[in-house]
């Protein structure tokens, strides 16, 4: 009898297994945690699975001990989206202000939980909706400011919570305007405080007739919205906001699932160039775009860290300079307590992923590191170098660069020997930065597929560092791979963003087919655009590809499959 009753439930669970998990922060006080049931009802109606996030025992909200951080991260690891709910005021002391009046109703337990939780959720790119106090949480936690008392009674209505009391004007290019298809909507208000400065991370997207800020949205291509009213109380008219959150959470859930199952490789970053500044890859270091924390948050399995050698001025001892960089990377791996390891082959990358370890793969940007000696190719192979970019911004003894002074007319005689020896040793030939003549010389000479580790499409941005459609077709015909990059000057003129990067990626796929493209960010070498500003944001590429209808298989090819194929074919 019981099995008969439960079978429809089990069947329903199987059908809704992919519904996103939405966490909701709760009120705290006395012996109970509490939450208005309408939050859960609206999330369920919108297609999500609501779970409550009661505050654990915490220390100060402006710093976290390791145990507290672990607790919060454990909460967030379960979630695909989060709602910071309404409730008591924030203590002004957290932002260095004294209370203005005695009208504040404070809840220190919530503050100590939600402010660090908000910062951690932001770092992990979890879709966020802040409601009333929750919108103020976003501001306090992420660089904005809350007015302690707006002293306007119309923003604290006495009518039932399910009724609307005033209108708000919606910004023309806002998510809210798209959701509601109107310039103005009616809302309910239960607040005596309001955000008066959003900070750099947000912009105002709704205002009351008296100018009070009623909504804000991310300026960074992130899925974050705050509203000052209570959409959970407004039934059908509040539902679009919850549907937006669950839709974004569902996309984030899918992207995370893909990153867990596929291998993700970024083929080019210049972080080692900043080692002399004392940067620390193993901490959250704001001076670099790649560190272990950002790599974890972006769910990137492997990054090709290159030793960049400038053409002018050239280091006095290029080989020793490169060796010193690689020594430092090996030291990072040893100090990481097993969190990151050197990978010298695709097999190493895959093994590290199975072990939950991030991989650093070595590369050299500028063949001057060889010091005009073929023997040094063998030396760097033993060190684990997987590719060498033949030149940088200037001709060298190997080839002419994209900024050529026409030294050789393409590959030099020594350069041809270098290409043959790299083929023999199992180091990939990288033609980013090379002149077209050098590109075709190497492509014709190489017996193995070559790559362009960080280049874009000249048809979309006429820069000599970018590849023509003809070059791209030739590269694909020989089995090579072009890794699209985030350097703004190779994406277009003026202000560029993630949308311009995707435009180049889609063009490359159209010209070369899906089997010959990938991603090489050039982070810490001036790479980075709004929406993809550091390694933590790279999961946004996956979300966009899912939204564009790419299959799981094709996304896996873009994110590492194609690159590893070329590694294997080169004997790396």
Short-list 215, 248, 209, CA closest to 231:
215
**Residue 103, pLDDT score:** 66
Residue 520 has pLDDT above 90, yes or no: yes
Greatest alpha-carbon pair distance for the chain in Å reads 86
Short-list 103, 94, 80, CA closest to 137:
94
Half-sphere exposure of 444 (CA within 13 A, CB side): 10
Question: Cα dihedral sign for 424, 429, 434, 439?
Answer: positive
Residue 15 has pLDDT above 70, yes or no: no
**Residue 416, pLDDT score:** 98
Short-list 520, 505, 453, CA closest to 480:
453
Task: Read off the pLDDT of residues 121-151 as tens digits, 9 standing for 90 and up.
Answer: 999 999 999 999 999 999 999 999 998 888 7
Residue 526 has pLDDT above 50, yes or no: yes
Short-list 406, 467, 407, 405, CA closest to 440:
467
Share of the chain above pLDDT 90, in %: 81
If you average pLDDT over every residue of the chain, what do you get? 93
- pLDDT confidence band for 17 (50 / 70 / 90): low
pTM above 0.75, yes or no: yes
**Residue 7, pLDDT score:** 55
| Weakest-pLDDT range from 69-78, 149-158, 314-323 | 149-158
Looking at per-residue pLDDT, the higher value among 91 and 293 belongs to 293
Residue 193 has pLDDT above 90, yes or no: no
Question: If you average pLDDT over each of 208-212, 404-408, 558-562, which comes out highest?
Answer: 558-562
| Weakest-pLDDT range from 30-44, 310-324, 524-538 | 30-44
Q: Which two tokens stand for residue 387?
A: 């590719």
| Weakest-pLDDT range from 62-71, 158-167, 365-374, 528-537 | 62-71
3-state secondary structure of 290: coil
């Amino acid at each position: 009898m019981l099995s008969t009753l439960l079978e429809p439930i089990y069947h329903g669970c199987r059908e809704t297994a992919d519904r996103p998990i939405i966490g909701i922060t709760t009120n705290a006080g006395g012996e109970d945690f509490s939450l208005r049931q309408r939050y859960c009802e609206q999330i369920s109606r919108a297609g999500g699975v609501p779970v409550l996030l009661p505050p654990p025992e915490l220390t100060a909200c402006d710093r976290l001990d390791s145990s507290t951080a672990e607790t919060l991260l454990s909460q967030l690891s379960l979630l695909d989206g989060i709602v910071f709910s309404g409730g008591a005021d924030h203590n002004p002391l957290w932002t260095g202000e004294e209370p203005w009046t005695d009208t504040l109703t404070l809840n220190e337990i919530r503050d100590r939980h939600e402010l660090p939780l908000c910062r951690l959720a932001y770092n992990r790119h979890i879709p966020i909706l802040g409601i009333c106090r929750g919108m103020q949480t976003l501001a306090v936690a992420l660089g904005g400011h809350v007015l302690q008392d707006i002293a306007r009674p119309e923003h604290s209505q006495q009518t039932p919570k399910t009724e609307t009391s005033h209108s708000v004007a919606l910004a023309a290019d806002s998510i809210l305007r798209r959701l509601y298809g109107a310039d103005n909507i009616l809302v309910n208000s239960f607040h005596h405080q309001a955000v008066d400065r959003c900070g750099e991370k947000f912009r105002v997207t709704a205002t009351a007739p008296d100018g009070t800020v009623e909504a804000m949205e991310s300026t960074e291509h992130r899925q974050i919205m705050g509203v000052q009213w209570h959409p959970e109380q407004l039934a059908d008219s509040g539902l679009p906001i919850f549907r937006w959150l669950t839709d974004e959470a569902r996309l984030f859930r899918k992207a995370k699932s893909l990153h867990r199952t596929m291998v993700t490789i970024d083929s080019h970053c210049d972080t080692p160039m900043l080692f002399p500044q004392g940067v620390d890859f193993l901490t959250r270091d704001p001076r670099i775009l790649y560190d272990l924390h950002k790599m974890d948050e972006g769910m990137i399995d492997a990054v090709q860290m290159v030793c960049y050698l400038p053409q002018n001025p050239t280091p006095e001892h290029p080989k020793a300079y490169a060796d010193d960089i690689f020594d430092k990377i090996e030291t990072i791996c040893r100090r990481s307590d097993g969190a990151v390891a050197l990978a010298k082959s695709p097999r190493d990358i895959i093994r590290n992923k199975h072990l939950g370890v991030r991989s650093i793969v070595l590369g050299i940007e500028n063949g001057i590191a060889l010091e005009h000696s073929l023997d040094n190719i063998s030396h760097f192979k033993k060190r684990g170098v997987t590719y060498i970019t033949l030149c940088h911004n200037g001709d060298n003894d190997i080839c002419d660069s994209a900024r050529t002074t026409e030294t050789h007319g393409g590959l030099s005689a020594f350069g041809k020997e270098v290409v043959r020896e790299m083929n023999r040793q199992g180091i990939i030939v990288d033609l980013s930065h090379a002149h077209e003549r050098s590109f075709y010389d190497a492509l014709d000479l190489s017996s193995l597929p070559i790559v362009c580790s960080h280049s874009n499409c000249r048809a979309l941005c006429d820069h000599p560092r970018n590849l023509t459609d003809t070059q791209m077709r030739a590269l694909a015909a020989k089995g090579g791979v072009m890794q699209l990059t985030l350097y703004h000057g190779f994406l277009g003129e003026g202000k560029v963003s993630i949308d311009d990067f995707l435009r180049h990626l889609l063009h490359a796929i159209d010209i070369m087919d899906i089997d010959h493209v990938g991603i090489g960010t050039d982070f810490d070498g001036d790479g980075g655009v709004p929406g993809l500003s550091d390694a933590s944001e790279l999961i946004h590429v996956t979300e966009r590809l899912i939204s564009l209808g790419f299959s799981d298989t094709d996304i896996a090819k873009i994110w590492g499959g194609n690159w590893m194929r070329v590694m294997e074919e080169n004997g790396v």
